[in-house]
Amino acid sequence: MTEVKMKSLRDAYGQALADLGAENENIVVLDADLSGSTRTSIFAARFPERFFNMGVAEQDMVSTAAGLAAAGKIPFASTFAVFASGRAWDQVRQSVCMGKMNVKIVASHGGITVGEDGPTHQALEDIALMRVMPNITVIVPADAHETAAAVRRAAQLSGPFYIRTARDKFPVLLREDVEFTPGKAARLREGTDVAIIACGIMVSKALEAAEVLSNEGVSAAVVNMSSIKPIDVEMIVSMARETGAIVTAEEHSIIGGLGSAVAEEVSETEPVPVIRVGMRAAVGSSGAPEELLNLFGMNTEAVVEAARKAIGMKKEPAATQAKTVMTG
Amino acid sequence: MMNDIDKLKEISRNLRKDILRMLHAAGSGHTGGSLSAIDMLTALYFSRMRHSPTPGASGPRDRFILSKGHGAPALYAVLAQSGYFDKKHLMTLRKVKSILSGHPYSPSTPGVEVCTGSLGQGLSISNGIAMALKLNKSDERVFCMMGDGETQEGQVWEAAMTAAHYKLDNVTAFLDNNGLQIDGVVKDVMGIEPIGDKWRAFGWEVYEIDGHDFGQILDAVDKAGRTKGKPSLIWAHTVKGKGVSFMENKVAFHGKAPSREELDLAMAELDAA
Ligand SMILES: Cc1ncc(C[n+]2csc(CCOP(=O)(O)OP(=O)(O)O)c2C)c(N)n1
Ligand SMILES: [Mg+2]
């Protein structure tokens, strides 16, 4: 295998944002005393007059962003994912989403790969919290290139966005010129026995899992479902039809995130087994990112295991079933 | 010819009637806080704010944000009177498919800038608009209306810091200090005093007025407009339920619409006023 390049999603965000700032005077940026961590500091250094540090005040930051949007600006507001989605939930709901304000929330430090900072700082609920909002587009990019593409697209499209980046570096999976369209998933690998639908860091784990499965003679498709909302229903349905078994994989609670979103669509359209890989424990722990992914079952082995289980749950075709009954 | 103040008094007397009629028709809603704020809204919309109901109209546009969103009937009354929508809509308040939601909901109501109702967010929004106006080198101004109970929300104080930090002298906030909230007297529920000292300590210029005296309201708005380098708070002493004797200072009329009899009595009082 060729050596995997690692690249930071937040770096990609910071750079894309600064580039956008040079192209469009209407881009303004807000941060809540984490500009170094979220990488809005790159924009801040280049366009100080269009950068607003709001201090440690996420609720104020989000509503202020709504005001900037009401007056025609395109505000990007950043902080850690726990604070953006949790601390300012009501502000995102009322100030931003209900009025369809053109506010882009780009939250860094999503998921368990926050690592050493521990449970209080690991956002494992943010996708659920944001996905339920009205009028919002929720994106969990798979790598640095997709992050840049999503940020650019968000700036072009009107309305609220939530984009989740990460503290850790992720493997580069996609081409530098990858395009991002809300509601469009991408097939990264074809397969017939099971479909692994993943987002964020788990897309790279899904690809590894597909490789492992292929060595066992199992053909697994891999889908990058970076657009959590709107979700690509068509892709989900065709995966269910083509493979008859689905695994979802995300760096998030199994409650309310990508797995839930996929299961919701599958159960209403093309019911097949859906096994969710994600956070099953109540809370995380301090530790190194890779160590935590292993400890809490968000790794390649967990995806492989889930694929085997999903395939095992497939209903036998009706004809075979009837025969079994007769002979039995 | 009527002078400005007599004209405003006449308008607000009629808007009070609109407020009571729409609330009676709705059968629910916030009477007390709409009546305590209506004189200030009247002064803004019919004397001081530069605005037009025509979408995309040229010329400066000052903004108003009703942070205490439950005062929506007062906002709807001034918007209808200003021509943002037909007055006939007022009688559809809070009804299915009406353009007038129980609390301000911008997607459906012309003239409503943002959604409010969950208290404490409007001052932050006003600041954001003010920051954008400053970036645009515009002299347009932003006015915000807060309730006194509302200032128990922590976000209000985050926003108070922000407005001073960014020297948002294009922000003028009104504090509708009627002394009451839902569970009783503000001072008993959760004291907010000393009001003037607090806001001054947060870096604001404070103008203390009688919020039902048009001369004082207009004067304060003008002074706030001349205040440079910091935001202004117009600390308005008001009476909840103002203008209807049996509603004045009554906690019970915070979130209660007038019955048929109460409406008739109120109309008679306002006609005689
Ligand atoms: C965040 C939030 N919490 C609670 C409420 C319910 N509520 C509506 S009005 C109100 C009291 C507001 O008192 P005040 O700001 O003094 O309003 P006024 O007296 O002007 O009507 C409360 C608690 C709300 N709308 N928003
Ligand atoms: Mg009050």
Whether residue A164 is found in the same domain as residue A92? yes
Active site residue A58: yes
Whether residue A115 is found in the same domain as residue A55? yes
Strand ranges of the sheet holding A194-198, from the earlier edge strand across to the other edge = A186-189, A220-224, A194-198, A246-253, A274-279
Question: Chain B residues with CB inside 8 Å of A51's CB?
Answer: none
- The CATH number given to whatever domain includes residue A291 is 3.40.50.920
Q: Which two tokens stand for residue B136?
A: 């645009």
- The C-alpha atoms of residue A15 and residue A8 are separated, in whole angstroms, by 11
pLDDT in tens, A15-59: 999 999 999 999 999 999 999 999 999 999 999 999 999 999 999
Q: DSSP 3-state assignment of B27?
A: coil
Whether residue A35 is found in the same domain as residue A133? yes
Nearest residue of B to residue A27, measured between CA atoms = B132
Whether residue A143 is found in the same domain as residue A20? yes
Query: Quick check: A198 and A162 in contact, CB under 8 A?
Result: no
CB within 8 Å: A100 and B114: no
Whether residue A257 is found in the same domain as residue A167? no
Q: How many CB atoms lie within 10 A of CB B3?
A: 8
A279 occurs within a structural domain: yes
CB within 8 Å: A70 and B129: yes
Q: Residue length, chain B?
A: 273
CA distances to A193, A195, A224, A316 from A221, in Å: 8, 5, 10, 20
Q: Where do the H-state alpha helices sit in chain A?
A: 9-23, 35-38, 41-46, 58-70, 81-82, 89-91, 126-131, 144-156, 202-215, 233-243, 258-269, 289-295, 300-312, 318-327
A155 occurs within a structural domain: yes
Whether residue A40 is found in the same domain as residue A121? yes
Q: What is the mean pLDDT of each run of 10 residues along chain A (328 residues)?
A: 86 98 98 98 98 98 99 98 98 98 98 96 98 98 98 98 96 97 98 98 98 98 98 98 98 98 98 98 97 98 98 76 44
ipTM (interface predicted TM): 0.98
**Residue range of the domain that includes A149:** 6-171
Single-letter amino acid, residue B254: H
How many domains are contained in chain A?
2
A328 occurs within a structural domain: no
- The C-alpha atoms of residue A93 and residue A84 are separated, in whole angstroms, by 11
Ligand 1 site, residue B185, Cβ cutoff 6 A: no
Query: Quick check: A148 and A15 in contact, CB under 8 A?
Result: yes
CB within 8 Å: A50 and B124: no
- The C-alpha atoms of residue A108 and residue A65 are separated, in whole angstroms, by 17
- The C-alpha atoms of residue B190 and residue B207 are separated, in whole angstroms, by 23
Positions of E strands within chain B:
63-66, 142-147, 171-177, 205-210, 232-237
How many domains are contained in chain B?
1
pLDDT at res. A323:
45
Give B167: exposed, middle or buried? Use CB within 10 Å, 0-12, 13-18, 19+.
middle
Give every residue of chain B whose pLDDT is below 50, as ranges: 1
Ligand 1 site, residue B149, Cβ cutoff 6 A: yes
Ligand 1 site, residue B240, Cβ cutoff 6 A: yes
- The C-alpha atoms of residue B256 and residue A45 are separated, in whole angstroms, by 53
Q: Which two tokens stand for residue A189?
A: 């690998």
A303 occurs within a structural domain: yes
- The CATH number given to whatever domain includes residue A18 is 3.40.50.970
pLDDT at res. B139:
98
**Residue range of the domain that includes B182:** 5-272
B115, B116, B155: residue with CB nearest A59: B155
Whether residue A153 is found in the same domain as residue A20? yes
State the pTM of this model. Answer: 0.97
Whether residue A159 is found in the same domain as residue A194? no
CB within 8 Å: B135 and A28: yes
A180 occurs within a structural domain: no
Which DSSP symbol is given to B42?
A: H
Whether residue A129 is found in the same domain as residue A265? no
- The CATH number given to whatever domain includes residue B40 is 3.40.50.970
pLDDT at res. A322:
46
Closest-CA distance of chain B to residue A204, Å:
39
Per-window interface: B 204-233 vs A, CB < 8 A = none
Mutation for A interface: B103, B124, B138, most A CBs within 10 A? B124
Nearest residue of A to residue B113, measured between CA atoms = A70
Ligand 1 site, residue B147, Cβ cutoff 6 A: yes
Closest-CA distance of chain A to residue B130, Å:
8
Strand partners, B176: B147, B236
Q: Which two tokens stand for residue A247?
A: 């695994």
